[in-house]
């Protein structure tokens, strides 16, 4: 895949000379166009070789403009997802699949129903399992990722606790897909969508940090000043289980796609390398 420092479809407002790569854009729309271009090149390149591509996907408001751009590429530029296999990061436990706030519903509403990805290629953890079946299901999810060839690309957001997926504070770096208890900050952040905190599930199934870090390519998206403080902790603070996104500091092929507001707490790190 094309290196992040050599964009073919656009340029960032600023590049930070750092590891992982930090790319700051004038707007999220410019950022997602650049990332969607990269992903489309990967999909088309694999299709030309007669090969599948495995994408790890995320939910929430942050990736919505990215999914909208993928849909545009499908509708107007002929991008086919017929060779794409998807694995979602996580799913709430205890909600019927058709509940409007499940991630199954979210992904179909915002992406899958609008592209030609085969239904058999779509994978999300189940949120309707009996308690005794959860460990085996998590192991099967890991095995399915492995059998598909591993994650070629993993899309991430960052939560208020610094979590990636639902890897809340205390999640080990080598953790794998499992059932987790949701942090109260995470539940409060989700409460408006559910109509109140009392309706937000308390548990979820999530890919582990180790599952995510095994991806060959990772892109984390973040927009707005609300994300600035936790991004600073993740990118400039210690690598710690208390902020699972900090583990990305050690991943060899990760890029952060940020708008100006999200990057505002990182301004002191910016090199004089404005791209025009």
Query: Under CATH, which architecture does the 50-265 domain have?
Result: 3-Layer(aba) Sandwich (3.40)
Average pLDDT over every residue of 81-85: 98
Q: Name the pTM for this structure.
A: 0.91
64-77 vs 28-48: helix crossing angle, rounded to 10:
50
Cβ(59)–Cβ(91) under 8 Å? no
Residue 12 has pLDDT above 80, yes or no: no
> Alpha helices, DSSP H only, in the chain?
28-48, 64-77, 103-110, 134-147, 184-194, 209-213, 228-236
Cα separation, 67 vs 73, whole angstroms = 10
137-174 pLDDT, tens digit each: 999 999 999 999 999 999 999 999 999 999 999 999 99
What is the C-alpha separation between 72 and 55, in angstroms, rounded? 18
- Taken as a whole, the chain contains a residue count of 276
Are the C-beta atoms of residues 93 and 131 closer than 8 Å to each other?
no
Nearest CA to 107 out of 77, 84, 129 is that of 84
pLDDT for 106-126, tens place per residue? Answer: 999 999 999 999 999 999 999
The pLDDT, as a whole number, for residue 20 is 87
Where are the domains positioned within the chain? 50-265
Residue 100: CB atoms within 10 A of its CB come to 10
Residue 243 DSSP class: B
> How would you classify the pairing of strands 21-25 and 14-16?
antiparallel
Mean pLDDT of 76-90: 98
């Amino acid at each position: 895949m094309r290196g992040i420092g050599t964009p073919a479809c656009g340029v960032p407002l600023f590049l930070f000379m750092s590891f992982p790569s930090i790319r700051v854009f004038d707007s999220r729309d410019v950022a997602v166009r650049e990332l969607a271009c990269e992903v489309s090149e990967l999909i088309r390149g694999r299709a030309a070789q007669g090969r599948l591509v495995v994408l790890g996907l995320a939910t929430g408001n942050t990736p919505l403009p990215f999914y909208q751009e993928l849909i545009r590429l499908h509708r107007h530029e002929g991008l086919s997802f017929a060779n794409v296999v998807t694995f979602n990061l996580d799913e709430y436990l205890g909600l019927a699949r058709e509940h409007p706030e499940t991630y199954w519903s979210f992904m179909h509403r915002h992406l899958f129903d609008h592209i030609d990805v085969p239904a058999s290629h779509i994978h999300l953890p189940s949120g309707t399992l009996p308690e005794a079946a959860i460990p085996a299901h998590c192991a099967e999810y890991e095995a399915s990722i492995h059998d598909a060839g591993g994650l070629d690309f993993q899309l991430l957001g960052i939560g208020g606790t610094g979590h990636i997926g639902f890897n809340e504070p205390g999640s080990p770096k080598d953790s794998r897909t499992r059932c987790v208890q949701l942090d109260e900050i995470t539940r409060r952040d989700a409460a408006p969508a559910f109509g109140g905190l009392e309706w937000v599930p308390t548990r979820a199934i999530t890919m582990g940090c180790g599952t995510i870090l095994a991806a060959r390519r990772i892109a984390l998206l973040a927009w707005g000043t609300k994300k600035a403080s936790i991004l600073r902790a993740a990118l400039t603070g210690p690598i710690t289980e208390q902020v699972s996104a900090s583990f990305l500091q050690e991943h060899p092929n990760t890029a952060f796609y940020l708008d100006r507001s999200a990057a505002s707490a990182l301004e002191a790190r910016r090199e004089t390398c404005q791209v025009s």
